[in-house]
Amino acid sequence: MAKILIVDDEPDIRALICRYAKHEGYDTAEASDGLEAVLMCRNEDFDVIIMDAMMPELDGFSACKKIRETKDIPVIMLSARGEEYDKLFGFETGADDYVVKPFSPRELMARIKVVISRHSKAETNVIKAGGIEIDTLGRVVCIDGKRTELTAKEYELLLYLIKNTGIVLTREQIMEAVWGYEYYSADRTVDWHIKQLRSHIGKCRNNIVTVRGVGYKFESKE
């Protein structure tokens, strides 16, 4: 069941969205301002956030930007202002969709369905393990949400290890999978690249475990 966070300083609007969302089978949570939403997202995961643009304490645009620093949760922005500038500003701060008040609850439910579906499809290209997140389409690696730069071989080595989490891989297996050929100094080549990879993934370096006399394995230490 998808979980929706509804953020609006008007209780009537929150209640309206909650009623329709529950009718569609969604689980719901509520926040009355942007600051409360940011704090909730630190401790919980949501499938989509419905965020009012203008709120006390912290406005929706700022809250969206703050949440996106640590969580990749799609956001549908609500606003009484429908000018092109406002919509563009909303998209620039990370919003996935923009709905102008007053709105049709049924249309909002349809938009929620589309955003969740689109986001879930994008997530199929993302691999997460032990604090490491790999976007296989963009070949982007993030450690605890922060991007880290790897060489092409380091990226392929990390991806191969993670795809075989918990499996002990010999140096020969790693060499064949990552380099694609047998090499007379496989031990030294693999060991050197493992050393370089560990230096680039910070605190996640210990997820790559040395199995003495055999090779390496990746352990997901959440």
Q: What is the pLDDT of residue 80?
A: 85
Q: What is the pLDDT of residue 123?
A: 66
Nearest Cα to Cα of residue 187 among 158, 155, 212, 156: 212
Rounded Cα–Cα distance for residues 169 and 218 (Å): 9
CB 51 within 8 A of CB 78: yes
Rounded Cα–Cα distance for residues 33 and 6 (Å): 10
Instruction: Look up residue 145 and give its amino acid.
Output: G
3-state class (DSSP) for residue 204 = helix
Parts of the chain belonging to CATH 1.10.10.10: 127-218
Rounded Cα–Cα distance for residues 49 and 41 (Å): 10
3-state class (DSSP) for residue 68 = coil
Torsion, Cα of 157, 159, 160, 164 (10° steps) = 140
Q: Is the entire prediction scored with pTM above 0.85?
A: no
Read off the tokens for 65.
Answer: 């930007």
Read off the tokens for 184.
Answer: 């007379």
Residues 7-31: b if buried by 16+ CB within 10 A, e if exposed: bbbeeebbebbbebbeeeebebebb
Parts of the chain belonging to CATH 3.40.50.2300: 3-123
Q: What is the pLDDT of residue 27?
A: 94
Q: For the CA atoms of the chain, what is the radius of gyration? A: 22
**What is the full per-residue pLDDT of the chain (222 aa) written as tens digits?**
799 999 999 999 999 999 999 999 999 999 999 999 999 998 898 999 999 999 988 999 999 988 988 888 899 999 888 666 677 777 777 788 889 999 999 999 999 998 888 877 666 688 888 889 998 888 899 998 889 999 988 999 999 999 888 889 999 889 888 887 655 556 788 999 999 999 999 999 999 999 998 999 999 865
Distance from chain centroid for Cα 87:
23
Q: What is the pLDDT of residue 122?
A: 61
Q: What is the pLDDT of residue 16?
A: 97
Q: What is the pLDDT of residue 222?
A: 57
3-123: which CATH architecture?
A: 3-Layer(aba) Sandwich (3.40)
127-218: which CATH architecture?
A: Orthogonal Bundle (1.10)
